[in-house]
Structure 1
Amino acid sequence: MSKATKTPRPKAVTPKGFRDYFGAEVTERKEMLDRIAAVYHAYGFDALESSAVETLEALGKYLPDVDRPNEGVFAWQEDDDWLALRYDLTAPLARVFAQHRNDLPTPYRRYAMGPVWRNEKPGPGRFRQFYQCDADTVGTASVAADAEICMMLADALEAVGIERGDYIIRVNNRKVLNGVMEVAGILDPADPEKFAHERGIVLRAIDKLDRLGKDGVRALLGEGRKDESGDFTKGAGLADRQAELVMRFVGAAELSFDDRWAELRALVDGSSIGEEGVSELRHIIDLVRAQGIGEDRVVMDPSVVRGLGYYTGPVFEAELTFEILDEKGRPRQFGSVAGGGRYDDLVKRFTGQAVPATGVSIGVDRLLAALHAKGRIGSQSHGPVVVTVMDRDRMADYQAMAAELRAAGIRAEVFLGNPKNFGNQLKYADQRQSPVAIIQGADELARGVVQIKDLVLGAKIAQTASHEEWKAQPAQFECARGALVAEVKRLLGGV
């Protein structure tokens, strides 16, 4: 008789491209998002939670870095429909507004925060599931909405701890670049698909200005460039005159404020879309300046193009300007943590009517990493006060202590493991990064007192004190049972 085949145990591994988030990470993210939400709420934006699953038809062709409609998403077929996990928070907004437009105010201001999923090849720091934090205004063509988004983004960065001077919000307008390309002869308003391939290369080249420099961008506008490894990237194949017009556009940010606008107007002269873009861009900057926000916070920058094809007008990007060390120990700027722009055609897919919209998305994980790099979070992470258990039969007494601490706003828990080994209880408290442990055995109960152990001070003493000093237990003291909450509050005030 053959032996029954054993079912293999499942492997306890995280799927490729995904990760687990533990206590402190989840808490830090929530606290940061709460601060951002408070800013958005103050600007009059309402929260929206939409479904994590959309129809593939609703997501449409606006997928990141791919050309085919059903690439880049996690999708499955259900009856006759194809469903997919959302890849961002903007496409669901377009569907929500189209579906509920008769019940929503116009303009509709909303913010949304939550996970998104992308079926892409994972890499270092690149996951298939990550958090986004968006704010959008739907239903107004006024560039005052774009200016408001930029001002709100600046306030949100400062609210979470990015100091003024450590960030800059760069603003551009895709209409201006379209005007430059029209004058250069690589955009035909009568045939938008003509030269689309060349324009795509131009956009990607400009977007790499900070990494490749002007020479690298210029090479990509022409025949192409060879990188340090010897790999060759084919360029847009522009003639010298065409390429120079684009390079003048890119270099406009280096000019003085007045010369900058004169140069942009000269570059788009004869293009109605380009002239409209310059006018919109200047209006945004004027509105921002009128609120006292100077070039140290928001600045016009022609190198900002944004990658997604649905942007139709103003685009913006928040860049953190302080230096960090890369994996090889070399100093570099932290870089972009947020971006967005105007996308007037996205809702039109559902309604058949043009519905203007603008918005911004914050990269949650990148902003958290920036706050860690600046020491704004992560340096002081403490767990709950742990009430130890000396007598199993007195569990109700220990739970009463924890309840009193919680009622006073102090995070606390009772040890629920095996209480026989007291050392294991203190080891557990260390693992929980607890600042304080509470101890009450039979002797303390009889005398109406508790022992309070300052675990933070105890850890410091253990590192530096002599054996005699350590035995003196200066980090542990006794107090009346009725003074428990007051003494713990006093200790935590110094943590």
Structure 2
Amino acid sequence: MAKTKGPKRPKAETPKGFRDYFGTEVTARKAMLDKIAGVYHRYGFDALETSAVETVEALGKFLPDVDRPNEGVFAWEEDADWLALRYDLTAPLARVAAQYRNDLPTPYRRYAMGPVWRNEKPGPGRFRQFYQCDADTVGAASVAADAEICAMLSDALEAVGIERGDYVIRVNNRKVLNGLIEKIGGTFAAQTVSDAEMAKVWDKKREEDILRTADKFDKVGVEGVRELLTTGRKDASGAMIEGVGLSDAHATHVINFLTAKADDNTQTLSNLSKVVGESTIGIEGVAELEQISALLEAQGYGPDRIIIDPSVVRGLGYYTGPVFEAELTFEIHDEKGRPRQFGSVAGGGRYDDLVKRFTGQSVPATGVSIGVDRLLAALQAKGRLDTTAQGPVVVTVMDRDRMADYMSMVNELRAAGIRAEMYLGNPKNFGNQLKYADKRESPIAIIQGGDEAAKGVVQIKDLILGAKIAQQATVEEWKSQPAQVEVPVENMVQAVREILDRHK
């Protein structure tokens, strides 16, 4: 007789592009976020927690593909409306600022921390769910708000353990690049015979192509950018990448902008002034950078922490004014042992058009987002992340009839602020209880059998010391059991605390 098949069992596996986080990882992330939140709170920012789900309409320009709202984000249709898991923490802020504009103070200063989701192809180190840590000021047009964000970012990095000298915050301004493009566009116009001809050689797409190419400066260098701006270049595989079509003279303007950084901010700003020429928007951008530099210098945030750097181009298609990026400057080694720079861990800038989508009125805003996972990886690479787990003190069970006594011991330890638990497995095999304690990374095991109970004492086993002795001890030292002491029950908490303090 054929066997009947039971129901198909589900696979116990994490969905592609997602991962699980266990004790030490969760604890390390929380500790880091608490330190960053402490800095944000000290600066006067309030916490905000928004729903993980937003309407696709609210996400708006954040969608990778507006025509297919379930592409790029995790979205579903409900009652003729599309809903989606939040793509970042900025779009929800814009919605909150518009929805509660009559109730919130102006400016509104908030920070937010939490997971975001992106329906994108996963890869090594690239997940579909990850944490972001944002701080933004909505309703302040002054560049003092931008300068404050830069100072706060500097303090946050140092608070979590990135030492001064191991990072730099680089500041640029979209308006300066607008001035550059205006200057190039003007020379294009001078070369054309009609508006129709001008439309052929200069349009919004060409501006975007210039931005996209400038963003590759740190990867391909000066000559690579020049080739991509003009006639094109071959990539590593030998395939030809089409160029933007600028003349060499126009490309030189862009390169002069990207290489305007000097040894000090004053000279950098002077170089930028030459690059933008008489462009009104460009001059305005340089003036804003001058103000930011002066405000930061006055607070002691000099070029050892924050610099003006025109090569920061990422996000300039989105930001409307100052833009900043925190880069770690120390060297790490990749999986093949090759040295490389760690790179960016945070970025932000001014985005004055975001809330306007909801209200029709322009609302100034500026903020920063810290890449939590990258920052954790950086701290681990520098050996500044405590990944050692210390489990609870384990009270072993020697007599099933005395469970209430063991639970009383656990309660006494917890009341004293000591992490503790009673062994809840099968107590028949005492060796298994100690194996459990080892697997839990427990520092101490409490033992009380019938003889100890009659004498009013407990045995306290220092599991950390015991492990060290097991590796190095002589037979005589092992027999002497220095890792296990007997103390009166009333002295249990004090003895446990002394051992824990020794291992800090």
2:355 counterpart letter in structure 1: V
Conserved 8 A contact 1:201-1:235: no
Q: What is the percentage of aligned positions where both structures have the same residue?
A: 70
Q: Which residue of 1 aligns with 2:43?
A: 43
Q: Relative to 1, partners in 2 of residues 1:188 and 1:345: Cα closer, same or farther, differing over 3 Å?
A: farther
Q: Which moved more, 1:268-277 or 1:355-364?
A: 268-277
Secondary structure of residue in 1 paired with 2:61: coil
Equivalent residue for 1:201, pick from 194, 198, 209: 209
Conserved 8 A contact 1:306-1:340: no
Deviations 1:432-455 (A, max 9, x none): 111111111111111111111111
Conserved 8 A contact 1:204-1:307: no
Q: Relative to 1, partners in 2 of residues 1:186 and 1:255: Cα closer, same or farther, differing over 3 Å?
A: farther
Note the C-alpha offset of 1:308. Answer: 6.5
Q: Distance in 2 between matches of 1:419 and 1:402?
A: 16
| Aligned pairs for 1:457-468 within 5 A | 457-468=465-476
Q: Distance in 2 between matches of 1:361 and 1:192?
A: 37
Q: Which moved more, 1:41-50 or 1:261-270?
A: 261-270
| Aligned pairs for 1:423-442 within 5 A | 423-442=431-450
| Aligned pairs for 1:249-398 within 5 A | 249-307=257-315, 309-398=317-406
Note the C-alpha offset of 1:107. Answer: 0.3
Gaps of 5+ in 2: 190-194
Secondary structure of residue in 2 paired with 1:49: coil
Note the C-alpha offset of 1:192. Answer: 12
Conserved 8 A contact 1:203-1:307: no
Equivalent residue for 1:224, pick from 232, 236, 240: 232
2:360 counterpart letter in structure 1: G
Conserved 8 A contact 1:144-1:287: yes
Q: Distance in 2 between matches of 1:308 and 1:300?
A: 15
Conserved 8 A contact 1:40-1:111: yes
Q: Which residue of 2 aligns with 1:75?
A: 75
Q: Relative to 1, partners in 2 of residues 1:256 and 1:131: Cα closer, same or farther, differing over 3 Å?
A: closer
Deviations 1:231-275 (A, max 9, x none): 433332221111100101111113543332221111112211111
Q: Relative to 1, partners in 2 of residues 1:183 and 1:369: Cα closer, same or farther, differing over 3 Å?
A: same
Note the C-alpha offset of 1:477. Answer: 1.3
2:106 counterpart letter in structure 1: T
Note the C-alpha offset of 1:67. Answer: 7.1
Secondary structure of residue in 2 paired with 1:267: helix
Q: Which residue of 2 aligns with 1:21?
A: 21
Q: Distance in 1 between matches of 2:18 and 2:387?
A: 26
Q: Distance in 2 between matches of 1:218 and 1:27?
A: 47
Conserved 8 A contact 1:178-1:187: no
Conserved 8 A contact 1:186-1:195: no
Q: Distance in 1 between matches of 2:353 and 2:60?
A: 12
Secondary structure of residue in 2 paired with 1:60: helix
> Is 1:492 the equivalent of 2:500?
yes
1:464 counterpart letter in structure 2: Q
Q: Which moved more, 1:183-192 or 1:134-143?
A: 183-192
> Is 1:144 the equivalent of 2:155?
no
Q: Relative to 1, partners in 2 of residues 1:477 and 1:309: Cα closer, same or farther, differing over 3 Å?
A: same
Q: Relative to 1, partners in 2 of residues 1:277 and 1:166: Cα closer, same or farther, differing over 3 Å?
A: same
Q: Which moved more, 1:207-216 or 1:314-323?
A: 207-216
1:319 counterpart letter in structure 2: E
> Is 1:85 the equivalent of 2:85?
yes
Conserved 8 A contact 1:107-1:138: yes
Pairs aligned (count): 494
> Is 1:241 the equivalent of 2:249?
yes
Q: Distance in 1 between matches of 2:27 and 2:456?
A: 36
Note the C-alpha offset of 1:217. Answer: 2.3
Deviations 1:11-58 (A, max 9, x none): 111000000111111111111101110110010000000110000000
Q: Distance in 2 between matches of 1:327 and 1:192?
A: 49
Q: Distance in 1 between matches of 2:457 and 2:489?
A: 5
2:42 counterpart letter in structure 1: A
Conserved 8 A contact 1:450-1:478: yes
Note the C-alpha offset of 1:222. Answer: 2.1
Secondary structure of residue in 2 paired with 1:311: coil
Secondary structure of residue in 2 paired with 1:105: coil
Secondary structure of residue in 2 paired with 1:185: helix
Q: Distance in 2 between matches of 1:13 and 1:78?
A: 29
TM-score of the pair, normalised by structure 1: 0.95
Q: Distance in 1 between matches of 2:80 and 2:156?
A: 43
Q: Distance in 2 between matches of 1:309 and 1:36?
A: 28
Secondary structure of residue in 2 paired with 1:217: helix
Note the C-alpha offset of 1:186. Answer: 7.9
Gaps of 5+ in 1: none
